[in-house]
Structure 1
Amino acid sequence: MTEHKKRLSFWQIWNMSFGFLGIQFGFALQGGFMSRIFQTLGADKDAIPFLWIAAPLTGLLVQPIVGYLSDRTWHPKFGRRKPFFFIGAVLSTIALFLAPYSSALWMAAGALWILDASINISMEPFRALVADKLPDSQRSYGFVVQTLIIGVGTWIASNLPWLMTQMGASNTAPEGVVPDSVKFAFGIGALVLFSSILYTILTTDEYPPENMEEFEQEKKAKKGVFHGLNEIFQNISGMPKVMKQLGVVQFFSWFAFFTMWSFATPAITEHVFGATDTSSAAYNDAADSVGNYLGTYGLVSMFYALILSFVASKIKINRKLLHLVSLIAGGFGFILIYFITETWMLHLCFSLVGIAWASILSMPYAMLSSSVEPKKMGVYMGIFNMFIVIPQIVAALGGVNFLYKLIFGEAVINTMLLAGTLLILAGFSNLFITDPKATHD
């Protein structure tokens, strides 16, 4: 089927992926500042991963279901994936705007749950859209362009609270209240999220099912919730071998990044800046700086993706080897955070992390999309998300706290050592992937 698809230009691929800018605004604000909100509302550092648990649990349920439904959706005007883009955009925008106005921990945790569920509704169809629209020879290129846009979003969104402070917004607030700088940042993020997804909806057409009569017959023959769930479970049990091999890589990769999202703010504000009082100006300034440094990994992932997009458009690449090297580089970046002596060195650390992040957001999906039936692309992209959310659930249920204390000791900065070790293990796990169709363009 893929050989009949037209090769698209850079700007056509850019338009169909532009909604990821908004999605990443949501994820970057969520990943960079929800732990800060939790601490502001009185959460203990060791309780933070548990407060995050609703997010991956929601993704575990939502993405396979959304993928299954989007595979079976078609409207001549609205398409297959675009209705899910719009629904997710509306819900995400509301949740992102309201999150920093939480007045209690349970409200903030609930806002995170709704936000993550809503973003997931939009995100999975975006992954499937690349595989829907592009021939196999452009898959790596397409996912790398998505990563380029994600990098832009990560960098800008991670710096928004700092920028709001520079523009005069208050960066401190009474105890238990989120500062205005964070509230304004989340409000801007909500606006960008909705408008960027709407841009993709308005500028991108979708291919109809190849055999419309067969498609309609399958829809009529396979109705009902229980049939849908049964088919999802059948697809899980019959997943391609490459997906299982990639699952090992994904487990270590996303355990590492969940550790960063949960603990980067408390670890770095304490270890590097010596700030622990969450209502103090010193802590809030340090937390803004952490957001700035986290933005570095987004900025570097953008440039790395830009280089990869140029290379992937010109020559065939070895996806497995590229992913292996990139993950190991990111692992060393995390480990170096423990040893730095000057704050500017955090830019170097997170630059290495950015290399890994760019690869995580592109290479696994490129490898997977070459091994999946096109008509099941949505549901398999959703199922593949299991290998993202399961490690986060394990981490949130005590995996991070148990491992970093057991292996490295009690200090919270040791979470970064754990993240680095896991990312290096993820890199070497690529050696399990042997299918040449998956590993090469």
Structure 2
Amino acid sequence: MHNNKPQLGFWQIWNMCFGFLGIQFGFALQNANVSRIFETLGADYNNLAILWVAAPVTGLIVQPIIGYLSDNTWTRLGRRRPYFLMGAVLACTALFIMPHSPTLWIAAGMLWILDASINISMEPTRAFVGDMLPKNQRGTGYAMQSFFIGVASVIASALPWMMANWFDISNTAPAGMIPDSVKFSFYFGGIAFLGAIIWTVVTTPEYSPEQQAEFEKAELAQAGSEEVMYHSETRSAKTYFQWGGVSTLIGLVAGGYIHQNIATLDKNLYILAGIFLLFGLLQLVAGWLTTQAKTNNGFVTVMGDLFAMPAAMRQLAFVQFFSWFPFFAMWTYMTAAVTSYHFGTGDPTSSLYAEGADWVGILFSTYNGVTVIAALIIPLLVKRIGLKTTHMVNLVLGGLGFISFVLIRDPDYLVLPMIGVGFAWASILSLPYAILSNVLPTRKMGVFMGIFNYFIVLPQILAASVLGFLVSKIFDNQPVFALVVGGASMLLAGALALRVQQPKDVA
């Protein structure tokens, strides 16, 4: 008789997810203040696009590696917790150092280190929920993570303002210097990051590998089949070489074409060609290692698992791709869209532009605040209509919210579509992981969660590559249509969510 994984109480789930509060402090401070730091240190954004691609590419590399390592780790501290702690210590150090960067390129290097450190902590926390909770509680667990993401985003984004207005810390500084309000915000964020992770490490012991094996057998027995489980697939060197050769050729041809037509194309399209080239080269390396019988390593394992994903994970990857694309469109073009379309100005030096940009800050606060509330409502919806139907509903709300930006002319009413965007954001941060964890074996949870991150990074790279071209060449320099494209993408994601296969024992 196999044992079922025990149900956990509210405060146990709270404690195991509390570390995400700290992780999001790091991300929110990074997202809200890195541009300010770069600008202070003399950045020319037209020549530094690679910096903004470097951060997600860092996650692309780091998360599968950490997932593979944590799947194969067992220490006195546990399986995932050593990586939580290591990432938190590194991120805390980076948060303390970054606002003291003397030059732009040191700040850029610290951004990479900070992003890599955050990813070291983040990846195992996703797998941790799948490790610790039974299937019927995973939606609640990931929704709790969304709750902490929303709370941390609201607080951390406002920290420099709070430092200046509540604690009378200067928000100005001489040329080339970072204001004290930003420095103290980063200090606070570093302490919050490390403290929250330590809380989770101390309060939540992990199950042993033997216990996890028993739980997995019980889940299989209840499902009545092994169709939900991963089956190892050995890829031949020939297959690696075929995929690698085709992808490398596409990258080279596309890069050459862009170079020849750069006068009429956007230079950011080079990023897309570079991704094909990188993927091809990685496949060729995996093929060479296979010919040398050097397959017992994390690199070849990740390359093989990428093509051996369970059917539900492949279906969910498309949902994830089309649901993240709109948010990168929003983060990139929301300010330009609102100031030009709703406030009627494209002059960054005008008072009207400043008013529109400030209103965008309110809109961002709105969707992050709604995320906190939605994270409490989503588990209730899941109990009534199931995981994938709840996700579909939330994505449709978000898609309609994005599209309505072109229909609503009065900026005051833009708060309404941001409610739908907030529900979509809370759902994207929780339900795909709940669905995914139900179709993955515990022994491969980490590496597959890391691979799943590809479908967050790839739409960001696509958005960075093609949205500028679409806005300038197709939409006559009207950035509001980038949000419309994002809304259509999210509606497509909602439709695709209904196609995701789930185990028979999961609603």
What TM-score results when the alignment is normalised by the length of structure 2? 0.75
Partner of residue 437, structure 1 = 503
Residue 305 of structure 2 is aligned to residue 305 of structure 1? no
Partner of residue 320, structure 1 = 388
Cα drift, residue 327 of structure 1? 1.4
**Partner Cα separation in structure 1 for residue 311 and residue 485 of structure 2:** 28
Cα drift, residue 209 of structure 1? 0.4
**Partner Cα separation in structure 2 for residue 103 and residue 338 of structure 1:** 43
Q: 1:413 to 1:2 in 2, by over 3 A?
A: farther
Cα drift, residue 89 of structure 1? 0.5
Matches within 5 A, 1:100-249: 100-102=99-101, 104-167=103-166, 168-172=168-172, 178-210=178-210, 227-249=297-319
Residue 97 of structure 2 is aligned to residue 31 of structure 1? no
Aligned match of 2:463 in 391, 395, 398?
Answer: 395
* Deviations 1:215-256 (CA, angstroms, capped at 9, x unpaired): xxxxxxxxx996221222222121111111111111122222
Partner of residue 332, structure 1 = 400
Count of paired positions? 426
Matches within 5 A, 1:7-18: 7-18=7-18
Which amino acid counterpart does residue 423 of structure 1 have in structure 2?
M
Cα drift, residue 190 of structure 1? 2.0
**Partner Cα separation in structure 2 for residue 329 and residue 135 of structure 1:** 29
**Partner Cα separation in structure 1 for residue 295 and residue 441 of structure 2:** 23
8 Å CA contact 2:71, 2:444 repeated in 1? yes
Higher deviation after alignment, 362-371 or 46-55: 46-55
Q: 1:48 to 1:265 in 2, by over 3 A?
A: farther
* Deviations 1:10-55 (CA, angstroms, capped at 9, x unpaired): 1101100000001111222233343444455555666675431011
Cα drift, residue 146 of structure 1? 1.5
Higher deviation after alignment, 32-41 or 289-298: 32-41
Q: Give the secondary structure class of the aligned counterpart of 1:52.
A: helix
8 Å CA contact 1:252, 1:422 repeated in 2? yes
**Partner Cα separation in structure 1 for residue 98 and residue 389 of structure 2:** 40
**Partner Cα separation in structure 2 for residue 158 and residue 147 of structure 1:** 16
**Partner Cα separation in structure 2 for residue 101 and residue 237 of structure 1:** 43
Partner of residue 265, structure 2 = none
Q: 1:383 to 1:402 in 2, by over 3 A?
A: same
Cα drift, residue 296 of structure 1? 1.9
What TM-score results when the alignment is normalised by the length of structure 1? 0.85
8 Å CA contact 1:152, 1:299 repeated in 2? yes
Q: Give the secondary structure class of the aligned counterpart of 1:210.
A: helix
**Partner Cα separation in structure 2 for residue 311 and residue 334 of structure 1:** 23
Residue 375 of structure 2 is aligned to residue 376 of structure 1? no
Q: Give the secondary structure class of the aligned counterpart of 2:78.
A: coil
**Partner Cα separation in structure 2 for residue 2 and residue 264 of structure 1:** 52
Cα drift, residue 212 of structure 1? 9.8
* Deviations 1:340-369 (CA, angstroms, capped at 9, x unpaired): 555543433322211111100111111111
Cα drift, residue 385 of structure 1? 0.9
Cα drift, residue 201 of structure 1? 0.9
Which amino acid counterpart does residue 470 of structure 2 have in structure 1?
L
Q: 1:331 to 1:277 in 2, by over 3 A?
A: same
Partner of residue 405, structure 1 = 472
Q: Give the secondary structure class of the aligned counterpart of 1:4.
A: coil
Partner of residue 347, structure 1 = 415
**Partner Cα separation in structure 1 for residue 478 and residue 40 of structure 2:** 20
Cα drift, residue 430 of structure 1? 1.7
Q: Give the secondary structure class of the aligned counterpart of 1:53.
A: helix
8 Å CA contact 2:14, 2:144 repeated in 1? yes
Partner of residue 220, structure 1 = none
Higher relative contact order (CA 8 A, sep 6+): 1
**Partner Cα separation in structure 2 for residue 103 and residue 259 of structure 1:** 32
Which amino acid counterpart does residue 253 of structure 1 have in structure 2?
S
**Partner Cα separation in structure 1 for residue 366 and residue 353 of structure 2:** 20
Partner of residue 64, structure 2 = 64
8 Å CA contact 2:369, 2:422 repeated in 1? yes
Q: Give the secondary structure class of the aligned counterpart of 1:114.
A: helix
Cα drift, residue 295 of structure 1? 2.4
**Partner Cα separation in structure 2 for residue 182 and residue 93 of structure 1:** 15
Of structures 1 and 2, the larger Rg is shown by: 2
Q: 1:185 to 1:83 in 2, by over 3 A?
A: same
Q: 1:150 to 1:408 in 2, by over 3 A?
A: same
Q: 1:40 to 1:89 in 2, by over 3 A?
A: same
| % identity of equivalent residues | 50
8 Å CA contact 1:22, 1:194 repeated in 2? yes
8 Å CA contact 1:159, 1:295 repeated in 2? no
Which amino acid counterpart does residue 425 of structure 1 have in structure 2?
L
**Partner Cα separation in structure 2 for residue 175 and residue 52 of structure 1:** 24
Q: 1:48 to 1:395 in 2, by over 3 A?
A: farther
Q: How large is the Cα RMSD of the aligned pairs?
A: 3.2
* Deviations 1:174-212 (CA, angstroms, capped at 9, x unpaired): 666554444433332222111111111111100010179
8 Å CA contact 1:272, 1:343 repeated in 2? yes
Q: Give the secondary structure class of the aligned counterpart of 2:322.
A: helix
Higher deviation after alignment, 35-44 or 237-246: 35-44
Which amino acid counterpart does residue 331 of structure 2 have in structure 1?
W
Partner of residue 217, structure 1 = none
Partner of residue 254, structure 1 = 324
Which amino acid counterpart does residue 26 of structure 1 have in structure 2?
G
Residue 414 of structure 2 is aligned to residue 415 of structure 1? no
Q: 1:386 to 1:46 in 2, by over 3 A?
A: same
Q: 1:8 to 1:109 in 2, by over 3 A?
A: same
Q: Give the secondary structure class of the aligned counterpart of 2:495.
A: helix
Q: Give the secondary structure class of the aligned counterpart of 1:432.
A: coil
Cα drift, residue 335 of structure 1? 3.4
**Partner Cα separation in structure 2 for residue 157 and residue 369 of structure 1:** 29
**Partner Cα separation in structure 1 for residue 452 and residue 437 of structure 2:** 11
Residue 493 of structure 2 is aligned to residue 426 of structure 1? yes
Cα drift, residue 67 of structure 1? 0.5
**Partner Cα separation in structure 2 for residue 44 and residue 266 of structure 1:** 18
